[in-house]
Amino acid sequence: MSDWLATISGVAPALAGLDMNMPGDIHTVPLVTGYGYWMYDYTRSVLNGSIPVDRLDDAVTRILAAYYQMGQDQGYPRPNFDTNTQDAEG
CA 78, CA 67: separation in Å to the nearest integer?
14
A 10 A CB-CB count for 57 gives: 10
Q: What does the buried/exposed string (b/e) look like for 2-20 if buried means 16 or more CB atoms within 10 Å of the residue's CB?
A: eeeeebeebbebbeeebbe
Options 3, 54, 73, 87, the catalytic residue: 3
Amino acid letter at 65? A
Positive or negative CA dihedral for 20, 22, 27, 32?
negative
3 carries an active-site annotation: yes
Catalytic residue set: 3
